[in-house]
């Protein structure tokens, strides 16, 4: 079913506060983390080293070239003992100083970085270069302590610089964006390199360099690394979409053109945003913070739909780009903690936690109604990362319980005799023979920090910043000597705005001493994922009060129902993109019983939406067949889940159109004598679709067309709109009902105003024109009404349907709408929830106002009967072509 998007801000005390975890239990879990790390690390050393990774099911090392290729995943492997390097600073954090010293000696004696092998620039940077720099930071810290690593003479740093120099050839492009791959021995762009022919890279791949390269520059005093990383970031910033301030997922490294224009906070983009904020934290350059804040404002405006984070198109950010989320976005609540935006961090984390509890692990991708989309789980650490940061921010023991859940699931489902195995399918519990290096580099760091006391830590983690691979870089680098000649792309338009610094980079120590704050935000989201109400119905004294309002009975135009909602603490919130959410504040209910009724009402609304959402129907066609159109104008229409199924009709339904009175169709039709035998035109709003259909059917109509009242909405920019029933049986509705967006509906209304009698054909697709009609139209043919302008719209809409079958959807009785937008913005129209249909009653369309200026010379046309409408309709449709071209390009972007 489509997603149920609503914010249930349940701020009442409906259940007791979580109990604080005892110190003994925290210590037990801390020790369990250490034991689990030992199990993974020792099995790698015993069965895999010096290979890059452990294969825990077969108890051997994964050596690239000796095992079957896994595609791009293997680009992280460079025959450089990846897991050992990635684990160096984890050993120190877990107080394994002796093991760390031994590991450093092994790296120095065994690891070679000049292998003739092609590796990912991104993965090698964050895992190997980051691992060497993190290990160097720890070695220096221990040496300064005077007890360990006294022999160390910056050997890891020398290796890091050697590796950095081997990565630099990848940056030899006109844009400064790096090639995605490099040969460690030969660089790029040579026959011996076997690389350098790529044209595209992901945004995160090019934008996740600055921390490691800047640290390398400041550790070594060589500014070349930081300069290249800054140049890449500057180029990405310049190529952002200037209206939405979003970036795409994939970019051409030579031209700077966006190859994939979908934008989110998950795979392909994630760590670009992370590194903008952390570059400010590490380096102290306000430019990075300014850019991050601008991006973040757009993320919260377009992508964030709490608790969900949904990809959009950068050029039309109100248009959803996909109907699922990937697990990499689980890092984002942790980044929001660093930003200081705690509320959405709590909400998104809770959603992720409930999905985790539902499937034991976060699936690699899951739908907006929390079902599995991609079933793999490679033991990713991002959820543990956000759990740790939220515990630091709130002090809420709830997050310790979340950490316990992670530990228990790893031991129950992923632990095998030779380590921990990735999940091939979270639904079946089957394993994959892989244990990625990031599992040791990140997962155990964050889990140990979650359960450890301050005295358990060998150093103050507040003195370090975590890279995206959780490697530790000292904040003292911000004052380290570096070249002042490093170029930046700061322009006059980027003058710093103090308002962008609000709520930025708070200390990660306790922000909210009251654990009730996060609990109040989590409670409703748990219900949203569970799709069940855990609380029993409250006892009611016999005869005391009326029965509670049921979701299936709710009518948005019923004042009594709105008052009942108010008493239950339920309110309607109009979103910035025109949609409306139901929000429940239990503390605003008139009583505890009313608050419980409100919770139940919200749950019923979700269940009603789930039950009534049927298989997605294809778009329908409304073909204007009367003179002077003769079938050349075909309008894309949304179907209804009730009434006549036009796909089963060989002829469709043909008839003249007439405007129903009242235009809303929400009460008995007063002009039934005109509606009888005709196809009634209705305005969207004020009641449910099924109610409109019943009223015009009673008046004798043979069909109905509902026209959107939100000016600017159009099928060429909005996903297909599908009309649903009202929660009751709709078997009594036997006529066809179709939906037109405002732009298409206005074409029909203009034609009716111009010609008085307009005949249309309602069908599943446009019908061919007969020979006699073709002969008739030759006398009044106007180039403006050729069908080529319309057919691509229908095709595009068919493609869009696949994207949006599970599109986000609020449980919003009679309140979902498309807000008025300007010509350059498309509404975020979605498949609407079945239980409602109406938009606010006050948003009525002014049918008397002409949509386009008439051509003053149209009377010179040979056929005076046709020119007025032809010009008018053509003008109404002329602006479709540009948007349609962009829309079709977006479809190509979709994988």
- Residues 749 and 764: their CA atoms lie apart, in Å, by 21
Helix (H) or strand (E) holding 251: strand 250-252
Active site residue 382: yes
- Residues 311 and 894: their CA atoms lie apart, in Å, by 11
Which of 123, 262, 311, 709 does the annotation list as catalytic? 123
Distances (CA, A) of 162 to 123, 169, 193, 471: 16, 13, 18, 19
- Residues 528 and 534: their CA atoms lie apart, in Å, by 11
The Cα angle at residue 100 between residues 97 and 104, in degrees rounded to 5: 145
Active site residue 783: no
Helix extents (H) in 261-321: 270-283, 286-298
Active site residue 893: no
Strand 679-683 versus strand 703-707 pairing type:
parallel
- Residues 522 and 885: their CA atoms lie apart, in Å, by 42
Sign for the CA dihedral angle at 491, 493, 495, 499 comes to: negative
Q: Tokens for 443?
A: 């997962």
Helix extents (H) in 23-129: 23-47, 82-93, 97-110, 121-123
- Residues 29 and 283: their CA atoms lie apart, in Å, by 35
Q: Where in 56-145 does DSSP place strands (E)?
A: 60-62, 118-120
How many Cα neighbours within 13 Å face the side chain of 524?
A: 31
Instruction: Name the burial class of residue 536, with classes exposed (0-12), middle (13-18) and buried (19+) by CB atoms within 10 angstroms of its CB.
Output: exposed
Instruction: Name the burial class of residue 48, with classes exposed (0-12), middle (13-18) and buried (19+) by CB atoms within 10 angstroms of its CB.
Output: buried
Can you tell me which residue has the tokens 């705690």? 342
Cβ atoms 516, 523 nearer than 8 A = no
Active site residue 270: yes
Q: Tokens for 395?
A: 């002090």
- Tell me the angle at which helices 82-93 and 444-451 cross, rounded to the nearest 10 degrees: 10
Which of 86, 262, 274, 382 does the annotation list as catalytic? 382
- Residues 867 and 53: their CA atoms lie apart, in Å, by 73
For residue 493, report the phi and psi dihedrals to the nearest 5 degrees.
-75, -10
- Residues 423 and 430: their CA atoms lie apart, in Å, by 6
For residue 606, report the phi and psi dihedrals to the nearest 5 degrees.
-65, -45
Which of 364, 577, 750, 837 does the annotation list as catalytic? 364
Q: Tokens for 275?
A: 């590194």
- Residues 749 and 745: their CA atoms lie apart, in Å, by 6
Which of 212, 226, 234, 270 does the annotation list as catalytic? 270
- Residues 438 and 92: their CA atoms lie apart, in Å, by 16
Helix extents (H) in 126-191: 130-145, 155-167
For residue 202, report the phi and psi dihedrals to the nearest 5 degrees.
-80, 155
Cβ atoms 330, 352 nearer than 8 A = yes
Catalytic residues: 123, 270, 364, 382
């Amino acid at each position: 079913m489509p997603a149920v998007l609503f914010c249930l801000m349940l701020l009442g005390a409906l259940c007791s506060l979580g109990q604080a975890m005892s110190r003994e239990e925290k210590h037990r879990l801390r020790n369990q983390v250490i034991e689990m790390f030992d199990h993974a690390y020792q099995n790698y050393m015993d069965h895999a080293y010096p290979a890059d990774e452990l294969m825990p099911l077969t108890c051997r090392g994964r050596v690239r070239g000796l095992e079957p290729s896994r595609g791009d995943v293997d680009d992280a492997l460079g025959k450089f003992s990846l897991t050992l390097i990635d684990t160096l600073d984890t050993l120190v954090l877990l107080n394994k100083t002796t093991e760390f010293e031994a590991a450093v000696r092994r790296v120095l004696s065994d690891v070679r970085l000049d292998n003739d092998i092609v590796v990912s620039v991104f993965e090698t940077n964050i895992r190997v270069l980051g691992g060497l720099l993190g290990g160097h930071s720890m070695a220096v810290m221990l040496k300064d302590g005077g007890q360990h690593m006294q022999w160390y003479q910056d050997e890891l740093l020398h290796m890091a610089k050697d590796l950095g120099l081997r990565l630099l050839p990848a940056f030899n492009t006109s844009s400064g964006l790096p090639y995605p791959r490099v040969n460690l021995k030969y660089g790029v762009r040579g026959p011996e390199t076997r690389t350098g022919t790529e044209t595209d890279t992901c945004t995160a791949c090019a934008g996740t360099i600055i921390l490691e390269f800047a640290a390398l520059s400041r550790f070594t005093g060589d500014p070349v690394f930081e300069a290249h990383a800054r140049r890449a970031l500057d180029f990405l910033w310049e190529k952002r979409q200037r209206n939405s301030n979003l970036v795409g997922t994939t970019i051409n490294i030579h031209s700077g053109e966006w190859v994939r224009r979908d934008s989110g906070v998950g795979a392909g983009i994630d760590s670009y945003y992370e590194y903008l904020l952390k570059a400010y934290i590490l380096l102290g350059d306000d430019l990075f913070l300014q850019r991050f804040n601008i991006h973040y404002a757009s993320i919260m405006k377009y992508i964030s739909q709490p608790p969900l984070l949904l990809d959009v198109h950068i050029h039309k950010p109100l248009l959803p780009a996909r109907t699922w989320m990937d697990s990499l976005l689980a890092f984002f609540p942790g980044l929001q903690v660093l930003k200081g935006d705690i509320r959405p961090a709590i909400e998104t984390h809770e959603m992720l936690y409930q999905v985790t509890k539902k499937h034991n692990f976060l699936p690699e991708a899951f739908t907006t109604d929390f079902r599995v989309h991609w079933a793999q789980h490679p033991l990713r650490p991002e959820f543990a990362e956000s759990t740790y940061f939220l515990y630091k921010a709130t002090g809420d023991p709830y997050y310790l319980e979340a950490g316990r859940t992670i530990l228990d699931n790893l031991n129950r489902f992923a632990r095998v005799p030779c380590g921990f195995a990735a999940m091939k399918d979270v639904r079946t519990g089957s394993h994959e023979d892989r244990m990625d290096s990031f599992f040791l580099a990140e997962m155990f760091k964050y889990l140990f920090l979650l359960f450890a006391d301050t005295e358990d830590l060998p150093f103050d983690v507040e003195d370090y910043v975590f890279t995206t691979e959780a490697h530790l870089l000292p904040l003292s680098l911000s004052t380290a000597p570096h070249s002042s000649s490093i170029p930046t792309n700061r322009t006059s338009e980027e003058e710093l705005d103090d308002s962008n610094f609000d709520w930025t980079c708070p200390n990660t120590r306790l922000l909210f001493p009251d654990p009730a704050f996060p609990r109040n935000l989590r409670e409703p989201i748990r219900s949203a994922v569970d799709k069940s109400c855990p609380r029993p119905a409250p006892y009611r004294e016999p005869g005391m009060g009326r029965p509670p309002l049921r979701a299936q009975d709710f009518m948005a135009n019923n004042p009594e129902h709105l008052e009942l909602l108010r008493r239950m603490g339920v309110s309607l919130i109009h979103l910035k993109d025109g949609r409306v959410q139901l929000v429940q504040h239990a503390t605003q209910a008139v009583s505890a019983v009313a608050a419980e009724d409100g919770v139940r009402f919200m749950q019923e609304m979700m269940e009603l939406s789930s039950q009534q959402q049927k298989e997605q129907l294809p778009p329908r066609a409304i073909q204007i067949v009367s003179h002077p159109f003769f079938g050349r104008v075909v309008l894309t229409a949304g179907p209804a889940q009730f009434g006549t199924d036009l796909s089963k009709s060989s002829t469709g339904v043909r008839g003249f159109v007439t405007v129903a009175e009242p235009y809303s169709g929400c009460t008995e039709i007063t002009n039934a004598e005109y509606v009888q035998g005709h196809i009634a035109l209705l305005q969207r709003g004020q009641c449910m679709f099924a109610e409109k259909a019943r009223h015009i059917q009673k008046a004798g109509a043979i069909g109905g067309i509902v026209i959107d009242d939100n000016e600017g909405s159009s099928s060429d920019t909005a996903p297909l709109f599908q009309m649903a029933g009202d929660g009751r049986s709709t078997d009594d509705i036997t006529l066809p009902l179709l939906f037109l967006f405002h732009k298409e509906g206005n074409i029909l209304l203009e034609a009716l105003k111009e010609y008085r009698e307009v005949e249309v054909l309602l069908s599943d697709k446009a019908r061919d024109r007969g020979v006699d009609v073709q002969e008739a139209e030759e006398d009044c043919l106007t180039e403006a009404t050729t069908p080529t302008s319309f057919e691509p719209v229908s095709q595009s809409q068919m493609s869009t349907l696949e994207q949006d079958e599970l599109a986000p959807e609020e449980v919003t009785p009679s309140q979902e709408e498309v807000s008025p937008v300007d010509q350059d913005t498309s509404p975020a129209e979605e498949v609407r929830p079945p239980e409602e249909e109406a938009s606010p009653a006050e948003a009525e369309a002014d049918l008397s106002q002409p949509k386009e200026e008439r051509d003053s010379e149209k009377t010179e046309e040979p056929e005076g009967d046709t020119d007025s409408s032809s010009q008018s309709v053509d003008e109404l449709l002329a602006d479709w072509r540009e948007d349609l071209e962009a829309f079709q390009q977006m479809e190509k972007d979709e994988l």
